[in-house]
A and B are shown apart, each in its own frame.
Chain A
Amino acid sequence: MMEQETINAATWGWLLIPMLSVVLLSLITFFTERGE
């Protein structure tokens, strides 16, 4: 049986981590800077 191809972990990591991090950062600063 042929091995099924998958998207490797490094690709998933790069696809998800930087972009979701900036959303998360903007959410965090939304709460921290709001009171200023």
Chain B
Amino acid sequence: MMDNVTLITFIIYLVGMLVIGIIAFRLTKNLSDYVLGGRNLGGSVAALSAGASDMSSWLLLGLPGAMYVGGMNQIWLAIGLAVGAYLNWQFVAKRLRTYTEVAKDSITIPDFLENRFRDKSRILRVISALVILIFFTFYTSAGLVGGAVLFEQSFGIDYQSALWIGAIVIISYTFLGGFLAVSWTDFFQGILMFIALIIVPIAAINAIGGWNEVVSKVGDIDPGYLNAFTDTTAIGIISLLAWGLGYFGQPHIITRFMAIKSTKEIPKARFVGMSWMVFALYGAIFTGFTGIAYYAEAPLENAETVFIAFTQELFNPWIAGILLAAILSAIMSTIDSQLLVSSSAVAEDFYKGIFRKNASQKELVWVGRIAVIIIAIIAIVIAQDPESRVLDLVGYAWAGFGAAFGPIIVLSLFWKRTTREGAIAGMVIGALTVIIWAQLEGGMFDLYEIVPGFILGTVVIIVVSLIVGSPTNPTKEVREEFKVATKR
């Protein structure tokens, strides 16, 4: 019964999203429309779209899983993210929106960097496209692991089959409709995720007999679960808080800032976005925490299934089906945005940029599609390991973008003297630090790789810019741009 009903709700949900996609597609006229919704998103749509693209399966599987395993000492992750997201909305959103328009109406991050630094060599474009390809592959892999866990639990099939079925559903959806008006489907998906994250923990707390009962049960198992400072170290707390640094460099999130209708919409978007995010984070936190008490006698094999287990046990199959569709929502709303960015990186930045400068639009569309399939296959290979965890894969990709793009996005918007050479060196060093640091273990290497990556990236950009910057730097053009970008 459960399986069939879940399947039916999944199908209804997918058809619904496809219809929204098709309607929005009919309103799409050109490439800028396609990538940025023609810079015409209202505040609320932009806010929930940024939120839904940001909070992948991570929010419904990863964070509850971390809380379920560690208890209150994991709250630092949510605090870091909320503060980071706020700073991003407060300081980066408006400036990025205006500057990308001033900089030859750039519609992607590689575009913006090339125009901002007047790079004719295409090196900046190629390096940023490479960073996008490497880290989005891991990110996509995290989504596919989430999909596999969801299908494994919902339909009782083994992990490998679930991975393939999940991947085929997710990728074919992305092909058919996901690229169409990603922002609008994200908006509905954001609402569904929000509702799920409010009602699941409430139902779970009720099932145990109230909040006090939950706390006392968790305390009986291990009082350490109740304290944010036990069973952790300063390095542990800093590592979790440092997730917040990642926001400035996530291409799939900051492109939503660029798509917003006008800077006047930003205060509203910020408020809607932050409210959505903070309450969703609380929902995830309390879901995982309550899970410690609920599954005390029969611990879950995979901690990241705690949200799924609750929906299956506490709700009638129809409601459970909708709630599980929310997880699928979360996964798809992130993967579609990421594959869109990755395919444009391959088609526009590599193929057209290096190999075939005169490639036709039709040719580029096909190159983009083939790229999506290759990226998906590599992501499936990474996801093969049944021990892979959504949180670990997301953590790696998050650090990669945060360290490679974060410092250069912030500095290019706020420091006129940033140079092309500084940008290239900073991105390379940021990305390499993350890749190398993640391989090392023990002592200070237990620190989350985004911290050294972000710091080194920033230092390198500043030092290199100061050393190689010519006396005429910043040029008159850049000064003018800054004037326009900051005035609006």
The A-contacting residues of B in range 150-180, CB under 8 angstroms, are none
Interface hits, A1-23 → B, CB 8 Å: 4-8, 10-11, 14-15, 18-20, 22-23
Q: Size of chain A's interface in residues, with CB distance under 8 A?
A: 21
A22 to chain B, nearest CB (A): 4
Number of residue pairs A-B, CB distance < 8 angstroms? 80
* Chain B residues whose CB sits within 8 angstroms of the CB of A23 once the complex forms: 271, 274-275, 278
A29 to chain B, nearest CB (A): 6
Contact assessment for B79 and A7 in the assembled complex, using a CB-CB cutoff below 8 Å: no
Q: In chain A, what residue has the closest Cβ to B94?
A: A33
Main SS of chain A's interface residues?
A: helix
| B299 beta carbon closer than 8 Å to chain A | no
Question: Are B82 and A22 in contact, with the CB atoms below 8 A?
Answer: yes
Known pairs A26-B274, A30-B270; A11 contacts B219 (CB<8 A) = no
Interface string of A23-36 (1 = CB under 8 A from B): 10111011001100
- Is B89 an interface position by the 8 A CB rule? yes
Docked CA distance A20–B282 (Å): 10
CB 8 Å contact bits of B196-234 with A (1 = contact, 0 = none): 000000000000000000011011100100111100000
Which listed residue (B72, B264, B271) contacts A11, Cβ 8 A? B72
Instruction: Choose one: A5, A22, A33; the contact of B86 (CB below 8 Å).
Output: A22
With CB as the reference atom, state the residue of chain A lying closest to B216. A4
Point out the residues of chain A lying under 8 angstroms from B274, CB to CB.
22-23, 26
Chain B, residue nearest A32 (CB): B267
Report the minimal beta-carbon distance from A8 to chain B, rounded to whole angstroms: 6
Query: Which chain A residues have a beta carbon within 8 Å of chain B's beta carbons?
Result: 4-8, 10-11, 14-15, 18-20, 22-23, 25-27, 29-30, 33-34
List the interface of chain B (C-beta within 8 A of A).
72, 75-76, 78-79, 82-83, 85-86, 89-90, 215-216, 218-220, 223, 226-229, 264, 266-268, 270-271, 273-275, 278, 281-282, 285
A-B contact pairs, 12 of them (CB 8 A): A5-B215, A5-B219, A5-B226, A11-B227, A14-B76, A19-B282, A20-B278, A22-B82, A26-B89, A26-B267, A33-B267, A34-B264
Q: Other than A15-B285, A33-B267, give 12 A-B pairs with Cβ distance below 8 A.
A: A5-B220, A14-B75, A14-B79, A19-B282, A22-B86, A23-B271, A25-B86, A25-B90, A26-B271, A29-B90, A30-B268, A33-B266
